[in-house]
């Protein structure tokens, strides 16, 4: 029988001794399993310097250098979206954005997609209420070729008629599908009832059947010409580049982009909810009820941003929030419940929502109202500390990739946030007091002045809802919310 060398045997003996000693130490320690382990203090965050460049045509470029990996993210932000849709052309901004990469710079949609894939890049465009964003993610080695494709999409889209017809049919199909989707019905109903049809937040960014059928190539070209200007745009660059490289490259590719006059938005003031009203949208046979409750919230530049972040984390912004623990964990009414202050250039909605079992719709509404009332009371110190740690410890996750960093910079440049905003975010969260949260709750949450939308089976839930005496109950049909079903 072959024996192990003496050196190997001594090493194995040493391992046994160390392991035995470690076990003895572990057994000698007393572990208190009656409560979670104490959290360490959130780490400070120090990001690289944010640099600002300006091209000869006035185009502003914001840069953050990240040299750890040879990747680059470029976001071109146009300050236009569905809020700028012309009268009778609801959905034009989002259709224009969808058409940007459906052929550009002399390439067809397929040729453009092949060129992007060949570079190992990713190029996409989308529009929201106030912005249209064209995103490029590329390896550094392919940057010169990729940015040429980006410029083609931003500056030289073709808007081919056949692609418009295809996307038009897709959008009309989406409108038809919404009729079978309680979540979509609920979203459209809530926004329309809260903001009204004259406000941009009261209509869907995708438009409606009538407007979508009216779109022409000339409409898209006109919208693009009016709003895609360097004086109406911002650029964010994050990655393995230098200011000198970026400035020279953008001057060469975008320097001939001509500015011009751009129309400014003129949107109606929206009135705050003055009484609690329940809107029941009948979805016969629905296995669940989709509940949305809310009121007008705040704009992104509110001075109460940080108190509201902590407040909402406690109420419905995390798995351990009061709403989720109540409706999901304690009562089992739902797979999840939450809330959000959706902050935009104009005051957006405060929204609390959940999908609950049909037979407990009324009971779920009672629990929502209970949590809205309780959040106005002083917050226990332990719960406050837990919420602040949740926000603070999770914040660095937003800066793991060049794409994530660029998205954060998008928000900074759009809202003109301070240059040290990212590095001071965590300290700003941690200094929030219980009094700050209570003051914010009383300023922005009033359980007696909210609208409640419930999409569900009327015959199963109406009686229970009315018995709660939450306020007037108005019954709507799917046609009342979405209009007649489009014919394809």
Backbone angles phi, psi at 338, to 5 degrees: -160, 180
3-state secondary structure of 403: helix
pLDDT of residue 447: 97
Q: What local confidence, expressed as pLDDT, does residue 35 receive? A: 72
pLDDT, residue 104, reads 97
pTM confidence score? 0.89
Which DSSP helix (H) or strand (E) runs through 84?
Answer: none
CA dist list (Å): 35 to 31, 32, 38, 313, 439: 10, 7, 9, 21, 30
Q: Is 224 left (phi over 0), alpha (psi -120 to 50) or beta?
A: alpha
- The predicted pLDDT at position 123 comes to 98
> What pLDDT is attached to residue 60?
97
What pLDDT sits at residue 1? 44
3-state SS, one letter per residue, for 188-255: HHHHHHHHCCCCHHHCCCCCCHHHHHHCCHHHHHHHHHHHCCHHHEEEEEEECCCHHHHHHHHHHHHC
User: Chunked in runs of 10, what are the mean pLDDT values of the chain (488 residues)?
Assistant: 50 49 52 71 81 96 97 98 96 98 97 97 97 98 98 98 98 97 98 95 96 98 96 97 96 92 85 97 96 98 98 97 98 97 97 98 98 97 96 94 97 96 96 97 97 98 98 98 93
Helical ranges in 257-380 per DSSP H: 305-315, 322-324, 361-374
> Exposed e or buried b for every residue in 433-449, given b needs 16+ CB within 10 A?
eeebbbebbeebbbbee
Q: Kindly report the CATH number that applies to the domain delimited by 50-254.
A: 3.30.830.10
DSSP state of 299: B
Distance from C-alpha of 355 to C-alpha of 323, rounded to nearest angstrom = 12
Looking at residue 400, its pLDDT comes to 94
Rg (CA), the chain: 27
What the block records as the tokens of 397 is 């996750």
Instruction: Return the pLDDT at 16.
Output: 47
Which pLDDT belongs to residue 260?
Answer: 86
- Give the pLDDT confidence of 383-433 residue by residue, as tens digits: 999 999 999 999 999 999 999 999 999 999 999 999 999 999 999 999 999
Q: Which residues in the chain are classed under CATH 3.30.830.10?
A: 50-254, 277-482
Q: Domain 277-482 classified CATH 3.30.830.10? A: yes
Each residue's pLDDT tens digit, 295-347: 999 999 999 999 999 999 999 999 999 999 999 999 999 999 999 999 999 99
Question: In the prediction, which pLDDT does 266 show?
Answer: 82
The two three-digit tokens of residue 232, written as one number: 């109406």
- Answer yes or no: are the C-beta atoms of 204 and 191 closer than 8 Å: yes
Between the two ends of the chain, the Cα-to-Cα distance in Å is: 83
Structure-derived torsion over alpha carbons of residues 353, 358, 359, 361, reported in degrees to the nearest 10 = 30
Q: Are 220 and 98 in contact (CB under 8 A)?
A: no
How is 91-151 classified by DSSP, letter by letter?
A: THHHHHHHHTTSEETTEEHHHHHHHHHHTT-EEEEEE-SS-EEEEEEEEGGGHHHHHHHHH
What is the reported pLDDT for 3?
A: 53
CA dihedral 292, 297, 301, 302 (to 10 degrees): -130
């Amino acid at each position: 029988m072959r024996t192990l060398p003496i050196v190997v045997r001594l090493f194995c003996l040493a391992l046994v001794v160390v392991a035995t000693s470690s076990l003895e130490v572990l057994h000698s320690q007393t572990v208190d399993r009656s409560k979670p382990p104490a959290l360490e203090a959130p780490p400070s965050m120090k990001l690289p310097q944010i640099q600002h460049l300006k091209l000869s045509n006035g185009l502003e470029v914001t840069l953050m250098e990240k040299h750890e990996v040879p990747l680059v993210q470029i976001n071109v932000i146009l300050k236009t979206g569905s809020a700028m849709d012309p009268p009778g052309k609801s959905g034009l901004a989002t259709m224009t954005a969808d058409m940007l990469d459906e052929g550009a710079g002399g390439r067809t949609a397929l040729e453009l997609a092949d060129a992007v894939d060949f570079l190992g890049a990713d190029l996409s465009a989308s529009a929201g209420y106030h912005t249209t964003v064209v995103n490029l993610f590329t390896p550094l080695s392919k940057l010169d070729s990729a940015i040429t494709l980006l410029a083609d999409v931003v500056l030289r889209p073709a808007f081919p008629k056949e692609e418009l017809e295809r996307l038009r049919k897709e959008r009309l199909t989406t409108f038809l599908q919404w009729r079978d989707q309680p979540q979509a019905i609920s979203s459209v109903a809530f926004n329309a009832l809260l903001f009204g049809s004259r406000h941009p937040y009261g209509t869907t960014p995708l438009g409606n059947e009538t407007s979508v059928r009216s779109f022409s190539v000339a409409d898209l070209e006109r919208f693009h010409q009016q709003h895609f200007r360097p004086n109406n745009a911002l650029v964010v660059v994050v990655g393995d580049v230098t200011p000198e490289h970026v400035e020279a490259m953008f001057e060469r590719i975008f320097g001939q982009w001509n500015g011009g006059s751009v129309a400014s938005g003129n949107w109606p003031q929206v009135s705050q909810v003055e009484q609690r009203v329940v809107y029941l949208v009948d979805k016969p046979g629905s296995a669940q009820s989709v509940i949305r409750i809310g009121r007008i919230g705040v704009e992104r530049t509110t001075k109460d941003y940080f108190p509201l972040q902590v407040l909402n984390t406690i109420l419905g912004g995390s798995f351990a929030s009061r709403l989720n623990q109540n409706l999901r964990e304690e009562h089992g009414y739902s797979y999840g419940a939450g809330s959000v202050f959706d902050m935009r250039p104009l005051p957006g909605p405060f929204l609390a929502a959940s999908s609950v079992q049909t037979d407990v719709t009324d009971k779920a509404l009672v629990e929502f109202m209970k949590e809205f009332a309780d959040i106005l009371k002083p917050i226990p110190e332990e719960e406050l500390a837990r919420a602040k740690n949740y926000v603070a410890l999770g914040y660095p996750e937003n800066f793991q990739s060049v794409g994530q960093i660029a998205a954060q910079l998008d928000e900074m440049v759009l809202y003109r946030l301070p240059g040290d905003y990212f590095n001071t975010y965590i300290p700003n969260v941690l200094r929030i007091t219980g009094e700050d949260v209570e003051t914010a709750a009383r300023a922005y949450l009033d359980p007696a002045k909210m609208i409640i939308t419930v999409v569900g089976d009327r015959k199963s839930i109406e009686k229970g809802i009315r018995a709660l005496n939450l306020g007037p109950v108005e019954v709507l049909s799917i046609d009342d919310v979405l209009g007649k079903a489009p014919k394809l």
